Amino acid sequence: MATTTSAPLLTLAGIRKEFPGVVALAGVNFELLPGEVHALVGENGAGKSTMIKIISGLYRPDAGEMAVGGEVAEFRSPADSIARRIKVVYQELDLVPDMSVAENVFLGGYPKTPRGLVDWAALNSRTESLLAELGLDIDPGTPVGELRVAEQQLVEIARALSQQAQIVIMDEPTSALSPGEVDRLFAVIEQLQQRGVGIIYVSHKLDEIFRIADRVTVFRDGQLVTTTPIAETSIQQLVTWMVGRELSDLYPKSPAVIGEPLLRVSNVSGPGIYDLSLTVHAGEVVGIFGLMGAGINSVGRVIFGASPRTAGQVTLAGQEVGAGSPGDAMEKGLALLTENRKEDGLVLPLSVKNNMTLASLRKFATFGWLWPRQEIKESADYVNRLSIKTPSLRQQVRFLSGGNQQKVLMARWMMRDPKVLLLTEPTRGIDVGSKAEIYRLIDEMAHRGLGILFMSTEIPEILGIADRILVMREGRIVAAFGRNEATQERLVAAAASDLNDAIVEAG
Partner 1 sequence: MSSVFASPQENGWQKWKAVWARNEALSLLVLLAGVIALFMVIEPTMRKSSVYWDLLRQVSPTMVAAVGITLLLLSGEFDLTVGSMLALTGIVIVDTFNRTDNMWLGILAGLLTGLVIGAINGTFVTVIGMESLMTTLGMMFAIRGLVYVYTNQTPIVDQNRFTQFTRLWFKNFGPVPSPIIVALVLVALAYFLATRTEFGRNTYAIGGNANAARVSGINVRRVKFTLFVISGLMASVAGLLYTAQTDTGYFNAGLGFELEVLAAVVLGGASLAGGQGNVTSTALAVLIIGTIGKGMRLMSIDTTQQLLVIGIVMLIAVYYHRIRKQTAARLTQEAYAARQAARGNVLA
Partner 2 sequence: MSAEISTPARSVGASGQSSLQDFLRRLFGSQEGVLFLIVAVLWLYLMSRSDVFFTQRNIGVMLSQVSMIAITGFGMTMLMIAREVDLSVGSMQAFAGVTAMQALNESHSLIVGLLAALAVGAIVGAINAGATLGLKISSFIVTLAMMQIVRGLAYTSTNAAVQNEHKLASFKKVFNGAFIENPVRIPNPVLTMVIIFIIFGLILSRTTFGRSIYAIGGNPEAAALSGIPVNRIKAICFIITGMLAALSAFMLIARMNSGQNNAGFGFELQVIGSVLLGGASLAGGKGTLVGTLLAAVLLGTVNNGIVLLGYNSNWQTAVVGLMILTAVFLDTMRRRMTGQS
Show the binding pattern over residues 45-64: x = contacts partner 1 (CB under 8 A), - = does not.
Answer: -----------x-x------
Residues 6+ apart with CB under 8 A from 120: none
Q: How far is the CB of 396 from partner 2 (least distance, A)?
A: 7
Phi-psi label, residue 68: left if phi above 0, alpha if psi -120 to 50, beta otherwise:
beta
How wide is the angle at C-alpha 44 spanned by C-alphas 290 and 144, nearest 5°?
60
Q: How far is the CB of 297 from partner 2 (least distance, A)?
A: 13
Considering CB under 8 A, how many residues would be counted as binding partner 1? 46
Tell me if 118 contacts partner 1 by CB under 8 A: yes
Tell me if 98 contacts partner 1 by CB under 8 A: yes
Residue 143: Cβ-neighbour burial (10 angstroms; 0-12, 13-18, 19+): middle
Segment interacting with partner 2, rule: CB under 8 A, options 24-32, 105-113, 372-380, 484-492: 372-380
DSSP code for 112 = B
Phi-psi label, residue 18: left if phi above 0, alpha if psi -120 to 50, beta otherwise:
beta
Q: Which is nearer to partner 1, 71 or 137 (CB)?
A: 137
Q: Which is nearer to partner 2, 245 or 394 (CB)?
A: 394
Residues 6+ apart with CB under 8 A from 220: 42, 43, 46, 241, 242, 243, 244
Q: Any bridge partners for residue 30, and if so which? A: 12
CA distance 269 to 31: 50
Considering CB under 8 A, how many residues would be counted as binding partner 2? 42
> From the list 148, 245, 398, 447, which residue makes contact with partner 2 (rule: CB under 8 A)?
398
> From the list 292, 350, 480, 496, which residue makes contact with partner 2 (rule: CB under 8 A)?
350
Phi-psi label, residue 51: left if phi above 0, alpha if psi -120 to 50, beta otherwise:
alpha
CA distance 276 to 286: 14
Count of beta carbons in the 10 Å neighbourhood of residue 392: 10
Interface of this chain with partner 2, residues 252 to 311, rule: CB under 8 A: 304, 306
Q: Which is nearer to partner 2, 214 or 328 (CB)?
A: 328
In sign, the C-alpha dihedral spanning 209, 214, 215, 221 is negative
Segment interacting with partner 1, rule: CB under 8 A, options 77-85, 346-354, 385-393, 400-408: 77-85
Tell me if 507 contacts partner 1 by CB under 8 A: no
Q: How far is the CB of 238 from partner 2 (least distance, A)?
A: 33
Tell me if 343 contacts partner 1 by CB under 8 A: no
The strand pair at 198-202 and 37-41 is best described as parallel
Tell me if 361 contacts partner 2 by CB under 8 A: yes
Helix (H, G, I), strand (E, B) or coil at 485: coil
CA distance 293 to 175: 9
Q: What is the largest CA-CA distance in the chain?
A: 78
Tell me if 82 contacts partner 1 by CB under 8 A: yes
Tell me if 433 contacts partner 1 by CB under 8 A: no
Interface of this chain with partner 2, residues 407 to 426, rule: CB under 8 A: 412
> From the list 65, 74, 139, 331, which residue makes contact with partner 1 (rule: CB under 8 A)?
139
Q: How far is the CB of 255 from partner 2 (least distance, A)?
A: 33
Q: How far is the CB of 110 from partner 1 (least distance, A)?
A: 5
Tell me if 50 contacts partner 2 by CB under 8 A: no
Q: Choose the one of partner 2, partner 1, none that binds residue 389, judging by a C-beta under 5 to 8 angstroms depending on kind.
A: partner 2
Tell me if 392 contacts partner 2 by CB under 8 A: yes
Tell me if 497 contacts partner 2 by CB under 8 A: no
Tell me if 58 contacts partner 2 by CB under 8 A: no
DSSP code for 434 = H
CA distance 299 to 233: 38
Residues 6+ apart with CB under 8 A from 72: 65, 66
Q: What is the contact surface with partner 1 in residues (CB under 8 A)?
A: 56, 58, 77-79, 81-83, 88, 90, 94-100, 103-104, 107-110, 112, 116-118, 120, 136-139, 141-143, 146, 150-151, 154, 178, 180-181, 184, 498-500
Q: What is the contact surface with partner 2 in residues (CB under 8 A)?
A: 19-20, 304, 306, 326-327, 330, 336, 338, 343-351, 353-354, 358-359, 361-362, 365, 368-370, 372, 376, 380, 383-384, 389-394, 396, 398, 412
